């Protein structure tokens, strides 16, 4: 039986205050950061008025723009490769049950449960072992491996929700495997592919730990650049840049959610 509020959890005493405290602790610092990014005073803890000058400084800073360019190069490259790999993996897994399917599923989801610091250190050791010079290429490889499960899961979920009789009907109408995929499977699968790509993109764009370990000289991305800025103190520029990245993250996550709900 549901509680008075429509959710059985609300009938327990203290759930509402605990939930309010949890969300306040989680999101109130983010709200404060956004508000302080408009503070006219360079001392972030002293409010003296509203201004957008810090956003102007961020968007005119050459170092920040270079870091943003590196972030976009890495994110687009890793997203493309991870989405293609995730799509092929999902199609292969959906062809039917086979021996070792559970193990393959576990391996695909392993980057989601392994601590990111472990993945970063292992990736760095691998690059050192094989003699690959650290740079944008190593960041792209590391992000691709990490982002592939995020692209794979929405695509696999979309495949499992598709009616298999549609592909069978295409075969009955003398469509070969490629034509059936192009005319039937791909249009139905497209929302899942786009949702997975959006998730992979924002995960790559915001990633710090893996990038920090495997990025070489000239491969600084925005999260790494922000970390370097806050080591000498939090400034209004840091707040403005963080707010811009938060806005981009919210936009892409919202798009992924809306696309995934399409039927």
Residue 97: per-residue pLDDT: 67
What is the per-residue pLDDT across 12-64, written as a single tens digit (0 to 9) for each? 777 788 888 988 988 898 898 888 888 888 877 778 888 888 888 888 888 88
User: Is 60 exceeded by the pLDDT of residue 179?
Assistant: yes
| Cβ pair 188, 66 in contact under 8 A | no
Rounded to an integer, the average pLDDT of 124-131 is: 92
- Domains in the chain: ranges and CATH: 54-260 (1.10.3720.10)
What is the per-residue pLDDT across 76-91, written as a single tens digit (0 to 9) for each? 999 999 999 988 888 8
Residue 246: per-residue pLDDT: 87
User: Which residues, in sequence order, are bridge partners of residue 39?
Assistant: 50
User: Is 50 exceeded by the pLDDT of residue 219?
Assistant: yes
The lowest-confidence range among 181-185, 221-225, 248-252 is: 181-185
How high is the mean pLDDT of the chain? 82
Rounded to an integer, the average pLDDT of 231-259 is: 82
User: Is 50 exceeded by the pLDDT of residue 166?
Assistant: yes
Q: What is the pTM of this model?
A: 0.80
User: Is 70 exceeded by the pLDDT of residue 260?
Assistant: no
Residue 1: per-residue pLDDT: 41
Cβ count near 15 (within 10 Å): 14
Both tokens of residue 46? 């002293």
The upper half-sphere exposure of residue 247, i.e. CA atoms within 13 Å in the direction of its Cβ, equals 10
Ramachandran region, residue 49 (left: φ > 0; alpha: ψ -120 to 50; beta: rest)? left
What is the per-residue pLDDT across 238-251, written as a single tens digit (0 to 9) for each? 888 888 888 888 88
Residue 163: per-residue pLDDT: 67
Residue 262: per-residue pLDDT: 60
Residue 78: per-residue pLDDT: 94
Q: How many angstroms separate the CA atoms of 1 and 183, rounded?
A: 46
Question: Which has more confidence, 95 or 245?
Answer: 245
Question: Which has more confidence, 101 or 255?
Answer: 255
Question: Which has more confidence, 186 or 37?
Answer: 37
DSSP string of 37-96? TTBSSSSTTS---B--HHHHHHHT-HHHHHHHHHHHHHHHHHHHHHHHHHHHHHHHHTT-
The rounded percent of the chain whose pLDDT value lies above 90 is: 19
Indicate the helix (H) or strand (E) that contains 99.
none
Rounded to an integer, the average pLDDT of 154-165 is: 76
């Amino acid at each position: 039986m549901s509680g008075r509020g429509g959710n059985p959890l609300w009938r327990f005493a203290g759930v509402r205050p605990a939930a309010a405290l949890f969300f306040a602790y989680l999101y109130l610092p983010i709200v404060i950061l956004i508000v302080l990014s408009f503070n006219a005073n360079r001392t972030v803890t002293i409010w003296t008025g509203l201004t957008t000058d810090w956003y102007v400084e961020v968007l005119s800073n050459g170092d920040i723009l270079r870091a943003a360019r590196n972030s976009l190069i890495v994110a687009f490259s890793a997203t493309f490769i991870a989405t293609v790999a995730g799509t092929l993996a999902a199609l292969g897994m959906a062809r039917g049950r086979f021996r070792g399917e559970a193990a393959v599923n576990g391996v695909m989801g392993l980057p989601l449960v392994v601590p990111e610091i472990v993945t970063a250190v292992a990736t760095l050791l691998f690059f050192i072992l094989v003699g690959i010079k650290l740079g944008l290429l190593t960041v792209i490889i590391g992000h691709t491996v990490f982002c592939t499960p995020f692209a794979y899961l929405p695509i696999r979920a979309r495949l499992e929700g598709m009616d298999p009789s549609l592909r069978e009907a295409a075969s009955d109408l003398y469509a070969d495997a490629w034509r059936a995929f192009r005319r039937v499977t791909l249009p139905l699968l497209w929302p899942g592919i786009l949702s997975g790509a959006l998730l992979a993109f924002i995960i790559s764009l915001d990633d710090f730990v893996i990038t920090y370990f495997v990025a070489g000289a000239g491969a600084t991305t925005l999260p790494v650049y922000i970390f370097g800025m806050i080591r000498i103190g939090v400034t209004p520029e840091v707040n403005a840049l963080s707010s811009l990245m938060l806005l981009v993250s919210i936009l892409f996550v919202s798009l992924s959610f809306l696309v995934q709900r399409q039927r």
